[in-house]
Structure 1
Amino acid sequence: MIIEKVLNNNVLLTKNAKGKEIIVMGRGISFKKVIGDTVDEEKIDKTFMLSTNELTTKLTELLYEIPESHLELVNEIVTHANKVLNTTFSDNIYLTLTDHIHFAIQRHKRGLSISNAMLFEIQRFYKKEYEIGLDALQIIERSTGYALGEDEAGFITLHLVNARMDSNEMKYTMKMTEIVRNILNIVTYHYNIVLDDTSLNYSRFLRHLQYFSMRVLRKESHSSGEDFLYNQVKNTYTKAFACVMKINEYLENTYEQSLSKDEYVYLTIHIQRVTERNSLGE
């Protein structure tokens, strides 16, 4: 195997004989190595070969930003979930759940926590998956030393539910696509920019809109009733907040639904991030 990219001393990107991209991990496997060198296969501890090269590329981009140990603990969580649920998950979970857990740990370090307004429903409707979410908290604590709260177990549960290959959500696909497309159009026209649909930020925003659009179709709206974050993002990210107001108007006119304060917060933060980084070419 020949090295395609060096991510850090312990992670690299290569291809197998069929041209399939593979992420390879091993202590010191990339030390003093450059593109074109041969992979020292004796040092390989773990490999990740996802279903498409596109997914592998996005996961590679993510590993530039986060410790590889976060991907390793997600692999442990997914392996555990596979055994308990006797099911198969979409490879996309390695991207989405790794990204989520990394940001959850970063928030925890800064003393910030986001309440999961759907926690009661998650505990009620996805009991087995939620138990795995609780197990995941133990895996995270053992790996990182950080004890995340039960709200995060709920968020992890949603990632597991969404990634199950046998999930019966196809009936929502067309409507979800329409809602996501219209919201992206609102953002594009509000900022008068073209979003980079190949960026990691865009992928994050798109995933949030997919979850959000499903809640709209199910007529689920949750709010913690807390005003602090709402007022903070309203005053700090005024342009993004104004964009969310337009999204709210669209939802009221089309689906007779209004955004809760929590939804205002999450959408404003995501829009601020995707447009800010987009303008910087990231």
Structure 2
Amino acid sequence: MRIRKVLNNNVVVSYNELNQQVIVMGKGLAFHKKEGDEIDTSKIRKTFVLQTKGISDKIAKVLMGTSEIYLNIAAQFYEYAQSKLSYKLDEYLYIALTDHISFAVSRYKKGVELKNPLAWEIRKYYKLEYQLALKCLEVIEKKTDVRLGDDEAATIALHLVNSQLSGENMKTAFRITEIVDTIISIVKYHFKIELDEESVNYERFLTHLRFFAIRLIRNEKPEENADLFFYEQIKANYTESYDCTAKIATYLKNNLNWDLSKDEEIYLTVHINRVTDRQKNEKS
């Protein structure tokens, strides 16, 4: 295995036996070494494979201003989170987490603690990602002796959520969370009930809302192919849920300039009916 690029004294880019680009880490691995030199395999402590073109260049830029210990933490957490999540994480997460963790630890040592304004919503809507992020805090503490606050776990969880969006910026993840939270609030206020957050129907509703919010932010308009008879049946049979959907449509139009398609109205109405039906019966 030969060095293709030196990132710093302890990190290099190379290619494995399958001709896959890899980041190789080890103390003094590249000391007095240059491109083309053989890698001393006895010094290798960490190797991870990169599939995305150009990622190593971005990692190199990040490592110019930070220690590779944070890349090591990010890589360890990436592998752990990927083993627990059903969706594929984007490799840009290596860069985003390395940069974020380095900055967070630096801020902590200076006595600066930033609050995440969406921490409560993130814990609520992205439970698995948040629990995984708490594990990341444990890894950070083990590697750096710094215990970051739980608000940092919320931000790391958002990085995981954002990784579904193929490298789009963190602002996107915040917007998704805000849209989901607003729609949930409209449903709760419309029916004047609390929703059962442990129910399967609630989880299905959240999943639908997340993907809907992603499409909205990307401006991915669905083709209008609703069955008009079915649409009218839904309106007639789920009147209260449809009225709630109408309120959501008003919010989306006035605040996000998004016109709900009839298909989206159908899906929202059905999900709202499912997620509120049990609570409505208990209230009665």
CA separation of 1:63 and 1:131: change in aligned 2, threshold 3 A = same
Structure 1 equivalent of residue 261 of structure 2: none
CA 1:75 to 1:17, structure 2 compared with 1: closer, same or farther past 3 Å? Answer: closer
Give distance in 2, aligned partners of 1:124 and 1:90. 23
Q: Quick check: 13-22 or 48-57, which moved more?
A: 13-22
Query: Which structure 2 residues correspond to residues 154-193 of structure 1 after superposition, within 5 A?
Result: 154-164=154-164
Structure 2 length as normaliser, TM-score? 0.58
Q: Does 1:210 align with 2:172?
A: yes
Q: State the Cα distance separating 1:83 from its structure 2 match.
A: 3.3
TM-score norm. by structure 1 comes to 0.58
Rg larger in structure:
2
Alignment of 1:80-95 (within 5 A): 80-85=80-85, 87-95=87-95
- Name the counterpart of 2:108: 108
Cα separation, partners in 2 of 1:102 and 1:255, compared to 1, 3 Å: farther
Query: How far off is 1:112 after superposition?
Result: 1.1
- Residue 49 of structure 1 aligns to a residue whose secondary structure is strand
Distance 1:116 1:215 in 2: 12
Q: Which runs of 5+ in 2 are unaligned?
A: 183-251, 257-284
The answer to whether the Cα contact below 8 Å between 2:29 and 2:39 also exists between their aligned partners in 1 is: yes
2:40 is equivalent to residue 45 of structure 1: no
Which whole-Å deviations, capped at 9, do the CAs of 1:198-240 have from their partners, x for residues lacking one? xxxxx9xx624433554676686xxxxxxxxxxxxxxxxxxxx
Shift of 1:156: 0.7
Structure 1 residues 100 and 160 mapped into 2: Cα distance closer, same or farther (>3 Å)?
same
Quick one: distance in 2 between partners of 1:149 and 1:103?
14
The equivalent residue for 1:26 is 26
Query: Residue 219 and residue 154 in structure 1: after superposition, are their counterparts in 2 closer, same or farther (change >3 A)?
Result: closer
CA distance in 1, matches of 2:47, 2:27: 13
CA RMSD of aligned residues (A): 3.0
What's the offset of the Cα at 1:119? 0.9
Aligned 8 A contact 2:11 2:29 in 1: yes
Cα drift, residue 121 of structure 1: 0.8
Q: CA deviation at 1:109?
A: 1.5
* 1:151 matched to 2:113: no
Q: State the identity %.
A: 36
Distance 1:6-1:60 versus aligned 2 partners, 3 A rule: same
Unaligned runs of 5+ in 1: 174-202, 221-253, 259-282
Aligned partner letter, 1:5: K
Equivalenced residues, count: 188
CA gap 1:219/1:134 in 2 versus in 1, 3 angstroms? closer
